[in-house]
């Protein structure tokens, strides 16, 4: 067996999910920056009929979506407290 020499790492499900939610929360501003930069790329590619109103609607929808995602992540982080074993020194 290949697992005899290796030490298996077991993470509790709650602490694993908690850390993944924290990772998503940390990456949300990066995703926001990329999404907010998309209209700038549209202008570089060429003018294919997208007006200022289309860009403003896009930005508002993205902004609203990011607020909703951040609220969901925040609520789930509050609901799932990190277990005591996860607070050990890493």
Q: What is the pLDDT of residues 32-64, one digit of tens each?
A: 999 999 988 877 666 666 678 888 999 999 999
Q: Taking 60 as the threshold, does the pLDDT of residue 11 lie above it? A: yes
Domain extents for the chain? 15-83
Reduced to 3 states (helix: H, G, I; strand: E, B; else coil), residue 89 is: coil
Residues 6+ apart with CB under 8 A from 77: 18, 21, 22, 25
Give pLDDT, residue 8.
64
The CA distance from 90 to 84, in Å, is: 13
Give pLDDT, residue 59.
94
Give the torsion sign (CA, 14, 19, 24, 28).
positive
For residue 89, name the pLDDT band (cuts at 50, 70, 90). very low
Cα–chain-centroid distance for residue 43? 27
């Amino acid at each position: 067996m290949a697992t005899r020499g290796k030490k298996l790492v077991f993470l509790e499900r709650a602490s694993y999910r908690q850390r993944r939610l924290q990772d998503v929360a940390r990456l949300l501003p990066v995703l926001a920056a990329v999404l907010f930069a998309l209209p700038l790329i549209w202008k570089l590619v060429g003018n294919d009929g997208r007006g200022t109103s289309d860009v403003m609607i896009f930005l508002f929808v993205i902004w609203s979506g990011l607020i909703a995602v951040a609220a969901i992540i925040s609520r789930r982080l509050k609901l799932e407290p990190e277990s005591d074993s996860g607070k050990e020194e890493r």
